[in-house]
Amino acid sequence: MIRVDQAHIRNFSIIAHIDHGKSTLADRILQATGAVSEREMRSQVLDSMDLERERGITIKAQAVRVHYTAADGETYQLNLIDTPGHVDFSYEVSRSLAACEGALLVVDASQGIEAQTLANAYLAIEGDLELIPVLNKIDLPAADPDLHGRAVADLVGEDPDRVLRISAKTGQGVDEVLEAIVERVPPPAGDPEAPARALIFDSVYDQYRGVVAFVRVVDGAFAQRDRLRAMQTGLVVEAEEIGVMSPAMTPTGRLGAGESGYLVTGLKSIGDLRVGDTLTVASRPAPEPLPGYREVKPMVFCGLFPVDADDYHGLRDALERLSLNDASLRWEPETSQALGFGFRCGFLGLLHMEIVRERLEREYDLELLATTPNVEYQVTDTAGVRRAVRSPAELPPPTSIELIEEPYVRCTILVPQEGVGAVMGLCQDRRGVFVTMEPIEQRQQIVYDLPLAEIVLDFYDQLKSRTRGYASLDYEIIGYRESPLVKLDVLLAGDTVDALSMIVHRDHAYARGKGLVERLHKTIPRQLFDVPVQAAIGGKILARETVKAKRKDVLAKCYGGDISRKRKLLERQKEGKKRMKQVGSVEVPQEAFLSVLRIGDDGRNGS
């Protein structure tokens, strides 16, 4: 293990809009510094989960140490701290950046600045990081490095000549990137003699070793067998092993000021060591934790129910196991009259929800029904008591509600001039409040305040389709605002289906209810009896359709040679019915529940 002094350490991360080449550049850096051999090289070494690889996005941040001998003949320790690539995980991004002194801001040379480029750049600038602008993909025919180089230089306040031009794919310019890291990123400034402090910027659960925390040591030093104290949660635990990722886990016995690495704790729950918390040594604790800690709160909630009621315990076990490695996943038992026993789960955002659901179905072989996602409302009742409501079922009757507040986000959308009308139309439809618009590069930056609930349905898809993919989006939570919201119920054959209820804006209730009823009408198959499908607020029916009873359902002919075949046909039909939920007297296919999610613009006025 090469030892270097603090002046020869560089901690940096790579930030970029999705698909601008962050992971490819990370791979190249590992290769160029010999951290991984050609043989070991897999694409996106740092993304360890299959799902990440498939979706091409980074979920868990990690730190990798490499050594680089620069043009000045000195050997430097470079710690690459990877950051998650999605807005759902922006808090993790900010903690990863807090562990660095510099960042590579990677921008696609054919596409230029996008919304997450801006968001990440602002985060880095706020954190006082040295930003090294990098134009990637200059080998593409559509690359326009002069145009986009000027814009990126403007954004970070650099001279255009200082914008690096590279192709992570071909390896062109990667050496210049390494030199720039050494030259421009300042060495860490912590006090090696002060009481030890380290920032936890990520943690993972390993089934053999327990919770592994990824840390950046700011002051002092940590040694194996030290007793560690988490300063926010107060938890004390022994450092069973200390080391660095290079990129495999390599024990070093010690981590000093300025260094990044990992700590093995043997803890059983990842919630015990939270991202953003500060670790110190219990025998000589630091007086103050590092700034910036906050508890990550789920923003989006939905009910998850097993299609087969026998899978309930399997689902609980799977959630428990996922929670070991995902401190932001929340869940509690929920009972639905329509769907039986399941769980109300809380997620950081829609992507997080989709990832968890996909993992449950894929890794744990569960077939699930998910209810319409909703946000967390604050409801003040007529007695003046304010409380959180995370499910439409928890909403008190209208007469005892004084007011309802819902979370708002500030959305920043970058779009070419010709897409401005479409974006503003969409934002208006979704109850947006215009904030500003200003040109950035060749495009307009449009800022709207929008209810989070309007974003979690299908806002991103709509944005992409209405701007033919040219708009990019970033958003941040800005707090709660009062809204005239109501609970929209769905009745099948006269009975309310609790799992299909949703909280909507009063002015959207009619259109939403009508669209909902039409979709259900299309997806619920004809049954032995007429099935009225209704949407209602309180007792008031807003819309109604009827699924007409079957008028013919027979097996055409059945003689001696057909009997087995017909019985097997009945068995196959029965198998098909198993994928339906029996809701009261009505058989409802999964698609009916899913169709509620897709209630997009045909259910809205004016679009």
Partner 1 sequence: MSGVRHLYVHLPFCGSRCGYCAFVVETGSLAMRDAYADALVAELEREGERLGELETVYLGGGTPTLMRPRRLRRLLDAVRPRLAPGAEVSIEANPETVDRRALAELRAMGVTRLSVGVQSFQPHLLAALDRAATPDQARDVVGCARAAGFEDVSIDLIFGIPGQTPDDLEADLGEAVALAPDHVSWYELELKPGSALARRGLPALDEDEGADAYRRIVAGLEEAGYRWYETANFARPGRECRHSLAYWGAADYLGVGIGAVSTVAGRRWRNRPGLAAYVAALARQEAPPRTVEPLDEDDLRRERWMLGLRLAGGLDLAWAGPPDRPEALGRLSAAGLLESGEGGVALTREGRFVQNAILHELMEYA
Contact set with partner 1 (CB under 8 A): 526-529, 549-561, 563-564, 566-567, 570-571, 573-574, 577
Is the Cβ–Cβ distance between 404 and 415 less than 8 Å? Answer: no
The nearest distance, CB 589 to partner 1, in angstroms, is 15
Exposed, middle or buried by CB within 10 Å (0-12, 13-18, 19+), for 71?
exposed
101 vs 311 by CB, closer to partner 1: 311
Return d(Cα 368, Cα 213) in angstroms, integer: 32
Return d(Cα 334, Cα 357) in angstroms, integer: 16
The nearest distance, CB 579 to partner 1, in angstroms, is 14
Half-sphere exposure (Cβ direction) of 437: Cα atoms closer than 13 Å: 14
227 vs 565 by CB, closer to partner 1: 565
In sequence order, the β-bridge partners of residue 374 are: 301
Return d(Cα 21, Cα 349) in angstroms, integer: 23
The nearest distance, CB 530 to partner 1, in angstroms, is 11
Stated length of the chain: 607
The nearest distance, CB 369 to partner 1, in angstroms, is 21
The nearest distance, CB 341 to partner 1, in angstroms, is 22
Q: Show the tokens assigned to 476.
A: 């941040």
Tally Cβ neighbours within 10 Å of residue 181: 24
287 vs 561 by CB, closer to partner 1: 561
Pairing between strand 9-16 and 75-81? parallel
42 vs 579 by CB, closer to partner 1: 579
428 vs 527 by CB, closer to partner 1: 527
46 vs 531 by CB, closer to partner 1: 531
The residue ranges of DSSP E strands in 246-288, in sequence order, are 249-251, 254-256, 260-264, 278-281
The nearest distance, CB 529 to partner 1, in angstroms, is 7
Q: Show the tokens assigned to 327.
A: 């401190």
Kindly state the greatest CA–CA separation across the chain. Answer: 92
The nearest distance, CB 565 to partner 1, in angstroms, is 9
Return d(Cα 607, Cα 602) in angstroms, integer: 7
284 vs 567 by CB, closer to partner 1: 567
The nearest distance, CB 567 to partner 1, in angstroms, is 6
The nearest distance, CB 559 to partner 1, in angstroms, is 5
189 vs 558 by CB, closer to partner 1: 558
Residue that the structure tokens 């000589």 belong to: 284
Return d(Cα 200, Cα 198) in angstroms, integer: 6
Question: Taking the chain, what is the end-to-end CA distance rounded to the nearest angstrom?
Answer: 63
193 vs 575 by CB, closer to partner 1: 575
128 vs 553 by CB, closer to partner 1: 553
The nearest distance, CB 587 to partner 1, in angstroms, is 9
Residues 133-149: b if buried by 16+ CB within 10 A, e if exposed: bbbbbbeeeebbbeebb
In sequence order, the β-bridge partners of residue 249 are: 245
The nearest distance, CB 583 to partner 1, in angstroms, is 16
496 vs 527 by CB, closer to partner 1: 527
3-state percent breakdown (helix, strand, coil) of the chain, nearest 5: 30, 35, 35
Is the Cβ–Cβ distance between 135 and 104 less than 8 Å? Answer: no
Return d(Cα 553, Cα 178) in angstroms, integer: 72
Is the Cβ–Cβ distance between 256 and 309 less than 8 Å? Answer: no
128 vs 575 by CB, closer to partner 1: 575
Return d(Cα 283, Cα 123) in angstroms, integer: 35
Half-sphere exposure (Cβ direction) of 420: Cα atoms closer than 13 Å: 15
The nearest distance, CB 295 to partner 1, in angstroms, is 49
